[in-house]
Amino acid sequence: MSDCPECTPRNLSRRTFLKNGALAMVGAALSPGFLARAVEAAPDARGRVLVVIFQRGAVDGLSMVVPHAAPEYYKLRKGIAIPREQVLDLDGYFGLHPSLAPFKPLFDRRTLAIVQASGSPDNTRSHFDAQDYMEAAAPGNKSVHDGWLNRYMGTAPNKNAFRAVSITANLPRSLSGMQPALAIPSVRSFGVRGGKSAERGFEAMYSQSASDVLHGTGKESFKAVETLRKRLSGPYQPANGANYPRGNFGQQMQQVAQLIKADLGLEIAAAEVGGWDTHANQRGPLAQRLEEFAQSVAALHQDLGDRMQDVLIITMSEFGRKLEENGSGGTDHGHGNCNFVIGGRVRGGRIYGQWPGLAPGQLFEGRDLAVTTDFRDVFGEAVVRFLQCRSASNVFPGYALLPNRFRGYLA
């Protein structure tokens, strides 16, 4: 596996920095706000791209990657366990939920790996706290207000407006902070709605030389709009026969592909998918959600083809669900969960992490899958080995990132 030096984010940022060096210097001296982040809105750049997918609501990891050889799983989930004959076996012990069938060939072709029993050292079972902790990558610490992805960007700032994009209405916590990031819910309708002439009027007002945060942001916004329109004109045609589901998440994945292929210098893409808080009658709805989830991610993989060599997809969820099913055919909030990691550089076809077991004495607080891999080591491995960050300690405040704790899903 040979790295193309021109493609690494470090070089990209250096190159862009040189191009904008003078402006950046002046800006940093005059204004801590927008000038320091005035952007180059139309670079022609391709580098590595990290795609993070948040499954909000705590997906039932024990249904995604089923421990079908563990008797406790069938004993405690009499009503909702995935029958052994339906599980898509991976290694004789674990297997995929049948709705995750699109992931099976990726696992077999070794571009998909699983990190099992991962999660937070904090024992909260509150969605909102746990999401917060995961996106801030600071479990138990509420005074960290920026997100881990934004802090990563801060370790090597560059001026590219399209460096980080969330395909959501609001920037997720993981991307918020001092570094610029775009929230683009729809690449097709990014801009001022309500007619060309209104947009032109606003653009003129914001493109004056006044140097304050509004004018600066306005200018960068209109540049971004213009760039997107230029690069993404016409209807999008997925490659390699990729077929995105029609739902919101499928469309998010398609837009990630569009942005990657537009060579805008995208480095971080964030997407999210909800509907996992399955407290009651989870069988059918969960199967449906998982199907859309897997088809969408697999379509992105298919569509990007060879580009997957420089793309890493990581999925995450705030915590897992309780081993024992509850009284209404669902599962309550639990602890440990799993991540999927997908990409050309992933050492796939394997399940990483230490399996803590499901026997009563092995469960966390006597009820949940225990966590044996801190989620920061999963994220940290991506930051260090994929994004090649040299100062990753700034990304995970209060946590000593040790390569020997990485699970090794990347070479």
Q: Contact positions toward other proteins, by CB under 8 A?
A: 33-34, 126-129, 131-132, 142-143, 145, 161, 169-171, 173, 176, 178, 180-185, 190-195, 197-199, 201-202, 204-206, 208-210, 212-215, 217-218, 220-221, 224-225, 365
Name the DSSP letter for residue 370.
P
- Contact 377/119 with Cβ under 8 angstroms? no
Shortest separation between residue 213's beta carbon and other proteins, angstroms: 5
Burial category of 349 from C-beta neighbours within 10 Å (exposed 0-12, middle 13-18, buried 19 and up): middle
Residue 290 or 369: the one with the smaller Cβ distance to other proteins is: 369
Residue 52 or 161: the one with the smaller Cβ distance to other proteins is: 161
Residue 108 or 365: the one with the smaller Cβ distance to other proteins is: 365
The residues facing 351 across adjacent strands are 114
Residue 176 or 282: the one with the smaller Cβ distance to other proteins is: 176
Residue 170 or 240: the one with the smaller Cβ distance to other proteins is: 170
C-alpha closest to that of 330 among 288, 279, 275: 279
- Contact 62/80 with Cβ under 8 angstroms? no
Shortest separation between residue 123's beta carbon and other proteins, angstroms: 10
Whole-Å CA distances, 95 to 54, 64, 91, 308: 22, 8, 7, 24
Strand pairing report for 351-352 and 94-96: unpaired
What tokens were used for 298? 């697999």
Shortest separation between residue 284's beta carbon and other proteins, angstroms: 23
Shortest separation between residue 25's beta carbon and other proteins, angstroms: 21
User: How far is it, in rounded angstroms, from Cα 369 to Cα 208?
Assistant: 57
Q: Count of residues for the chain?
A: 411
Shortest separation between residue 207's beta carbon and other proteins, angstroms: 9
C-alpha closest to that of 382 among 104, 174, 79, 94: 174
Shortest separation between residue 126's beta carbon and other proteins, angstroms: 7
- Contact 103/298 with Cβ under 8 angstroms? yes
User: How far is it, in rounded angstroms, from Cα 111 to Cα 308?
Assistant: 9
Residue 74 or 206: the one with the smaller Cβ distance to other proteins is: 206
- Contact 276/56 with Cβ under 8 angstroms? yes
Shortest separation between residue 50's beta carbon and other proteins, angstroms: 20
Residue 207 or 391: the one with the smaller Cβ distance to other proteins is: 207
Strand pairing report for 268-273 and 164-166: parallel
Helix H or strand E encompassing 136:
helix 127-136
Shortest separation between residue 67's beta carbon and other proteins, angstroms: 25
H helices then E strands: how many in the chain? 11, 12
User: How far is it, in rounded angstroms, from Cα 405 to Cα 380?
Assistant: 10
Shortest separation between residue 173's beta carbon and other proteins, angstroms: 8
Residue 110 or 142: the one with the smaller Cβ distance to other proteins is: 142
Q: Which residue has the tokens 């225990």?
A: 370
Residue 195 or 284: the one with the smaller Cβ distance to other proteins is: 195
